Amino acid sequence: MKAKVDPQASTAVLQALPQPIIVVGEDHSITFVNYAAEAFFGASLSVLARQKLDDLIAFGSPIIALVETVAQRRAPMTEYRVRVGSSRFGDERIADVFASPLSDSDGRIALLIQERTMADKIDRQMVSRGAARSVTGLASMLAHEIKNPLSGIRGAAQLLEQSVPVDEIPLARLIREETDRIVDLIDRVEVFGDDRPLDREAINIHVVLDRVKLLARNGVARGITFSEEYDPSLPPVWGNRDQLIQIFLNLVKNASEALERTQKPEIKFSTAFRPGIRISVTGVSERISLPLEIVIEDNGPGVPPDILPFLFDPFVTTKTNGSGLGLALVAKIVGDHGGVIDCDSRPGRTRFRILLPVANPAQVTPSEEVMAK
């Protein structure tokens, strides 16, 4: 005797899944999408239902051929690492697509999309952290030996400034200033080797962002319009307040510098709760959930595509006189908080997205819990 299937329960299960799901008919018309698919394509069911899959997916995508093949064979198939999206519904993203016939009685095909972009970026970030550790291990070993002779060079340059002819003073001053610059660079690299435990507490991330905006408006981002789109019910993050401020202030500073030649420059802060992102961390048996999403977005010229995959590596920079350590330090601090950071960029829109874990209920005092709501 077959068990009866409750259609409402089946729909509820599909809606609860974090992966986008699309159901298409024989003519490729879209008959159903779950909430995750609406978020993925940036459109509601009512809008998507007026489209065909051919309109939704970029021209030439193997997804169309996948649907046709599944319809003919009446058997599930998978395409790995295909481009999903269109100019109408947002940027193209890399995903694995699983296609399966719903039943033998009709031609409907169900598509499940597993985005690869975040997984690839997390993998890349782990490589970047490894590179940063290698650089800082070498820097920590050499810093003491380098700073000692530099101190002697600086002292000698100061003495030369007092004794050389007037026309040679600029040269002695140049030696001193360049020595100071090298020492400053070594100091910045040494920060990466600081593995001391963080002093953490449950923090309302909106309080941190408001502080960053206040500092930026009166400093690095004067004349730039700020906007925000906050989720007011966001739970607190378990972190270090000063370091979180440093993360976002650094991102806002970078955005401000990128907006110097942009008409009507704007920086947007947004927060959201995104369940479904989980990563494995060495030394922890359970996978860590990263549901807190914080996005810093600007309308500047964007990051060059050839640099984007390596943006968080040490000594990678788009600035003429930059050291390439600012974003590497941001990535380190985010990693120390158990989170990840990624960047999507195109001309006119650059988005830095940070995903962080929430504070455990035991870590939140009643007053902090009220503040976070």
* Mean pLDDT across 188-217: 81
Looking at per-residue pLDDT, the higher value among 268 and 84 belongs to 268
Look at domain 15-116 and name its CATH class.
alpha beta
Nearest one of 205, 238, 197, 240 to 363, comparing CA atoms: 238
* Mean pLDDT across 276-300: 71
Looking at per-residue pLDDT, the higher value among 153 and 105 belongs to 153
pLDDT of residue 370: 40
pLDDT of residue 323: 60
pLDDT of residue 350: 92
pLDDT of residue 208: 94
**If you count them, how many residues does the chain have?**
373
- For 6-15, 188-197, 282-291, 363-372, which range has the lowest pLDDT when averaged over its residues? 363-372
- For 75-89, 160-174, 255-269, which range has the lowest pLDDT when averaged over its residues? 75-89
Look at domain 201-361 and name its CATH class.
alpha beta
**C-alpha–C-alpha distance, residues 124 and 313, integer Å:** 9
**C-alpha–C-alpha distance, residues 354 and 336, integer Å:** 13
Q: 369 vs 14, 203, 233, 359, CA distance in Å?
A: 32, 9, 10, 10
pLDDT of residue 196: 65
Q: Where are the beta strands (DSSP E) in the chain?
A: 21-24, 30-33, 77-84, 93-101, 109-115, 201-203, 225-229, 237-239, 266-273, 278-279, 288-289, 292-298, 340-346, 349-356
pLDDT of residue 3: 53
Task: Please report, for the chain, the start and end positions of each structural domain, with discontinuous segments joined by +.
Answer: 15-116, 120-193, 201-361
SS3 33: strand
SS3 73: helix
* Mean pLDDT across 95-100: 86
* Mean pLDDT across 96-110: 82
Question: Percent of the chain at pLDDT above 70?
Answer: 72
Q: Convert the pLDDT of each residue in 62-94 to its tens digit.
A: 888 888 888 888 888 888 777 776 545 555 677
SS3 9: helix
Residue 264 CB neighbours (<10 A): 8
pLDDT of residue 367: 42
Q: Give residue 366's pLDDT band: very low, low, confident or very high (50, 70, 90).
A: very low
The whole-chain average pLDDT of the chain stands at 78
* Mean pLDDT across 269-288: 65
DSSP assignment, residue 52? B
Q: Give residue 344's pLDDT band: very low, low, confident or very high (50, 70, 90).
A: confident
Residue 147 has pLDDT above 60, yes or no: yes
Residue 288 has pLDDT above 90, yes or no: no
